């Protein structure tokens, strides 16, 4: 195989990433797409490949023998079904995060990948962002010593716009936003520290969104749309204050990672600003990022060595492409995985472990803050042993 022929399942907003795979003169080309919406499929053909095979039945896409790999870009609650079906159909799979909305679902996907011998990659594009790759490099260099504490604050300034006008606001579709939104951050904590979470306790609640508005109400037909803070002009946008919403809009987690590292993660969906703030504290110093400034700051402590003589500020260079230049890199990594068996920056186990923390934290929240242990199945333990 010299060129990967790609199929896309889910032609919604995230399908824009397919542009990076469609290079008829390169190593990959997008030849098909499946979605329940014919309107989205028409738009997909216009923007990606006018000659692509399109269908409203994803099983029809999987029957196409000329498709080598499939990108799962469908809603979270469909990832397990779509990924397993694609793997069983003999396709390599790129699956957007979260890998699934249950730990058991993740394990079933990973087991199927192992059984079929097909490649499985999770779309953790934050690992490909310049800022977080820089932070990973700083920690790995040893300049701030052994990591002992991690603090992460995620200000989700567009929380209502992105997550409470549609399917995301229902726990049956997401488990909680600690998977859909938080899985990125939980994974970055694991990745940069090099340790997985062993225990978690969490508190959270639904304090702003949700309410008593009709479940059938949409923004365009609402009588108070001119004064509503969450009004969205898009057609059929569901009310962010409808009664069926049951997913917490702010959460606070305390975690204990392998090796005794303590970490906290805070997420709020009704804050006015949008940014992620990471702090890593080690035995020799502290590292902190500023997404708004595009900088990473390293502060050193007294060490009786030259390291204590200066602090360092890293200016993060801007890169071309969506998600801060991460999407072109992560899509290229998937093609390298399929064509050359080159392992990407992420792994299916990493995808599973971020979901495991999100699920355990959600259970903790809904049981009054109970301490939950993050369990690994025998299969996951075996895969972790192999990777060492």
Residue 1 has pLDDT above 80, yes or no: no
Residue 196 has pLDDT above 70, yes or no: yes
Q: Give me the mean pLDDT over the 98-120 stretch.
A: 97
Q: Which of 212-216, 234-238, 318-322, 380-384 has the highest mean pLDDT?
A: 212-216
Tokens representing 61 are 């896409």
Give the range among 78-82, 135-139, 230-234, 314-318 with minimum mean pLDDT: 230-234
Whole-number pLDDT of residue 236:
76
Q: Set out the domains of the chain in order of their start, with CATH numbers.
A: 4-124 (3.40.50.720), 127-209+245-387 (3.30.360.10)
Of all residues in the chain, the percent with pLDDT exceeding 90 is: 87
Whole-number pLDDT of residue 235:
66
Q: Give me the mean pLDDT over the 156-174 stretch.
A: 93
Whole-number pLDDT of residue 375:
87
Say which residue the tokens 């749309």 belong to: 225
Instruction: Kindly report the average pLDDT of the chain as a whole number.
Output: 95
Does 63 or 377 have the greater pLDDT score? 63
Q: SS3 of 184, please?
A: helix
Rounded to whole angstroms, the Cα distance separating 275 from 373 reads 29
Rounded to whole angstroms, the Cα distance separating 20 from 362 reads 34
Whole-number pLDDT of residue 388:
63
Does 387 or 337 have the greater pLDDT score? 337
Whole-number pLDDT of residue 143:
94
Instruction: Assign residue 338 a region (left: φ > 0; alpha: ψ between -120 and 50; beta: otherwise).
Output: alpha
Does 235 or 194 have the greater pLDDT score? 194
How far from 120 is each of 27, 133, 344, CA to CA, in Å?
A: 18, 22, 10
pTM of the model as a whole? 0.95
> What one-character-per-residue DSSP string does 70-100 give?
EEE-S-GGGHHHHHHHHHHTT-EEEEESSS-
| Cβ-contact 84, 107 below 8 angstroms | no
Does 5 or 303 have the greater pLDDT score? 5
At 209-259, the pLDDT tens digits run 999 999 999 999 999 999 999 998 876 789 999 999 999 999 999 999 999
Q: Give me the mean pLDDT over the 31-39 stretch.
A: 96
Residue 67 has pLDDT above 80, yes or no: yes
Q: Residues with Cβ < 8 Å from 175, sequence gap 6 or more?
A: 101, 102, 358, 359, 362
Whole-number pLDDT of residue 206:
97
Residue 305 has pLDDT above 90, yes or no: no
Q: Give me the mean pLDDT over the 177-188 stretch.
A: 95
Residue 352 has pLDDT above 90, yes or no: yes
């Amino acid at each position: 195989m010299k060129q990967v022929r790609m199929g896309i399942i889910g032609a919604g907003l995230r399908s824009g990433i397919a542009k990076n795979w469609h290079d008829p003169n390169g190593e990959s080309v997008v030849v098909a797409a499946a979605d329940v919406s014919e309107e989205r499929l028409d738009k997909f053909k216009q923007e990606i490949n006018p000659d692509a095979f399109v269908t409203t039945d994803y099983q029809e896409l999987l029957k196409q023998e000329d498709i080598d790999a499939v990108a799962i870009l469908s809603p979270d609650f469909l990832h397990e079904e779509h990924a397993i079906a694609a793997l069983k159909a003999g396709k390599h799979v790129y699956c957007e995060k979260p890998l699934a909305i249950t730990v058991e679902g993740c394990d079933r996907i990973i087991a199927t990948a192992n059984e079929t011998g097909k490649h499985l990659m999770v779309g953790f594009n934050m690992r490909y962002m310049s800022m977080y790759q820089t932070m990973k490099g700083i920690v790995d260099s040893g300049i701030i010593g052994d990591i002992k504490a991690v603090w992460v604050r995620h200000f989700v300034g567009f929380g209502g716009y992105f997550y409470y006008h549609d399917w995301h606001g229902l726990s049956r579709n997401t488990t909680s936003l600690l998977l859909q939104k938080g899985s990125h951050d939980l994974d970055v904590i694991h990745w940069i520290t090099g340790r997985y979470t062993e225990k978690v306790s969490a508190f959270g609640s639904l304090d702003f969104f949700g309410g008593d508005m009709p479940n059938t109400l949409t923004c365009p037909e609402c009588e108070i749309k001119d004064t509503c803070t969450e009004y969205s002009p898009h057609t059929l946008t569901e009310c962010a204050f409808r009664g069926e919403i049951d997913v917490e809009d702010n959460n606070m987690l305390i975690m204990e990672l392998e090796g005794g590292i303590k970490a906290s993660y805070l997420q709020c969906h009704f804050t006015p600003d949008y940014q992620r703030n990471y702090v890593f504290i080690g035995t020799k110093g502290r590292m902190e990022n500023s997404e708004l400034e595009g900088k990473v700051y390293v502060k050193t402590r007294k060490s009786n060595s030259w390291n204590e003589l200066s602090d360092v500020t890293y200016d993060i260079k801007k890169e071309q492409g969506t998600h801060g230049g991460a999407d072109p890199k992560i899509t290229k990594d998937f093609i390298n995985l399929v064509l050359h068996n080159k392992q990407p920056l992420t792994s299916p186990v990493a995808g599973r472990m971020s979901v495991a923390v999100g699920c355990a934290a959600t259970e903790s929240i809904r049981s009054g803050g109970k301490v939950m242990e993050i369990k690994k199945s025998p299969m996951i333990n075996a895969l972790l042993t192999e990777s060492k």
